[in-house]
Amino acid sequence: MSFLLHLLLTAHLLEYRQAPVGAPLHVRLTTTVGSYASKVGSPVRAVLIAPVLVDGQTLVPAGAIVSGRVKSVKRVGWGIVHETAAIGLDFTSLTLPSGDVVPLSSRVAQVDNGRERVTRNGVIVGARSTGSLCYRTSGYIRTALQWEIHAALAAWIIKTMIVQLPEAEIYYPAGVELTLKLTQPLALDADAVESDQRPVRLSLVERVNIDPLLEELPYRTYAAPNRPSDIVNVLFLGTREELSTAFEAAGWLQAHTSTVRSGIHQIRAVAEGRGYRQAPMSSLFVNNVQPDVSWEKGFNDASKRDHIRIWRQPELWHGRELWLGAATRDVDFAFFRPGQRLTHRVERNVDHERDKIVDDLVFTNCVDAVDRLERAAVPRLIQNATGDFMATDARVAVLRLNNCRAPRLASETEDQEPLPVHGGKLQRFVRREILSMRSDVLRTNVYYRAYEGTRWVIEAAIRRHRRQHAEPELPPDPSVLLERAQNTTAQPAGSP
């Protein structure tokens, strides 16, 4: 009897797949939302841009639609009541490609590459516009110029005409990417889950033929003078045109070359607390050659971006051009590091960025085949040229591109009419003066400046201590994942 019950229970569990609480859902907005014009109860929709996997199996394929509503809004308006904006999004249903609709319990966990912070309840809180670096710096200058009429006039000109405050309202157009996290388990009937429509893996013959090539290709980039840096973790098979089409469709932009003009633009973006979506990248080399092309995806925070440097290889593989890519995600600024006084700090698990690129390009339908191949010579924990630890499962993602005549674009939207970003010029000017006055009264004094400086020093020391004593987490070994997948149901043919 107990055996029969066990058999029935096992059969029942096999009919369902379940994602646990905390499982991430990577989505891209298809409707615009903003704190200035969105209303509580307004519908909001987004598309899943990466599949939800459970034990290597696809639970929800990319392309599924998540729907919900705006649950709360706090606008800055004239700046009399609020200094910062906030908006809460509640995604409550999931529409599968089959058309089936299932309930969803989730919260917003992150605005990808955004300057806004997300509370534990999933509410998105905007940055204080008068908290930008340039405005705080001008505050020190204005403090030194006080109590004299001409100096006060000069201070007002600096504050109003020269220093540009970032937009105080939150505004997310279609195409902005969010990360949601489940707050309740998501269980789906296995019969209702369609097989993943992702590209097929390389054939066995292709895998055997490409292995010797992978052994010969370099797996590290180098920074001058000959300092080992990022891991080469992506290999593209295709032409330059196919590569450009895929990245452009996925919403990535080519990085600007490093010039005086781009340098000034980057300094202003940092000082004014806004994004620079085509910021230059530092020079890295493969075989003493700089990248042929560099792509990045940012939003409204200059300290965060997804990015990849790509090198064309002289050899061909079965008539196809080969392109090596080194992908990492910048997550913050870092100061006084080896080689540069100011650089970016990268996310420790570089496999996340490798998989981000795979998911983004697969979503465009510009990829025919995807595989992840192991490289025995690659260590699973290394440091880049600026001292950041980088952990990896040592695999390289191989993407075979197509000509992509009708790509699926990252800019697809369901908006019928544009949503206003903010009020008119008069309201923006008055709001600017009110916010500036509020900030000056509260913060432009020796007591707040002393507190602010002390807090910066303490927070920087705490972050440095945590980084130095943190145990680097290694991604799971690919063989373990493979064994886990083999112990469950067979992997769908289209899953990489």
* List of domains in the chain: 1-127+168-191 (2.40.128.260), 204-403+473-486 (no CATH)
| Mode of pairing for the β-strands spanning 101-103 and 171-172 | unpaired
Torsion of CA 197, 407, 111, 89, to 10 degrees: -70
How far is it, in rounded angstroms, from Cα 326 to Cα 311?
9
- The pLDDT of residue 488 is 43
Please count the helices (runs of H) and the strands (runs of E) in the chain.
10, 27
Torsion of CA 112, 305, 408, 94, to 10 degrees: -10
How far is it, in rounded angstroms, from Cα 187 to Cα 185?
6
> Between the CA of residue 408 and those of 242, 246, 355, 368, 454, what are the distances in Å?
14, 9, 18, 14, 50
- The pLDDT of residue 395 is 95
What does pTM read for this prediction? 0.84
How many whole angstroms from its chain centre is CA 312?
Answer: 25
Cβ burial of 232 (10 Å; 0-12, 13-18, 19+) is buried
Cβ burial of 124 (10 Å; 0-12, 13-18, 19+) is buried
- The pLDDT of residue 114 is 94
Contact 303, 330 (CB under 8 A): yes
- The pLDDT of residue 150 is 56
Taking the CA atoms of 173, 425, 131 and 438 in sequence, report the sign of the dihedral they define. negative
Give, for all 496 residues of the chain, the pLDDT tens digit.
554 445 444 444 445 678 999 999 999 999 999 999 999 999 999 999 999 998 888 899 999 999 999 999 999 998 888 989 999 999 999 999 888 899 999 999 999 999 999 999 999 999 888 877 777 676 666 666 555 555 666 666 655 655 567 788 899 999 999 999 999 999 887 665 555 567 889 888 888 889 888 888 999 999 988 899 999 999 999 999 999 999 999 999 999 999 999 988 888 888 888 899 999 999 999 999 999 999 999 999 999 999 999 999 998 888 899 999 999 999 988 876 665 667 888 999 999 999 999 999 999 999 999 999 999 889 999 999 888 899 999 999 999 999 998 999 999 998 988 899 988 888 888 888 888 888 878 887 778 878 888 888 898 888 777 767 766 566 666 555 455 544 443 343 333 3
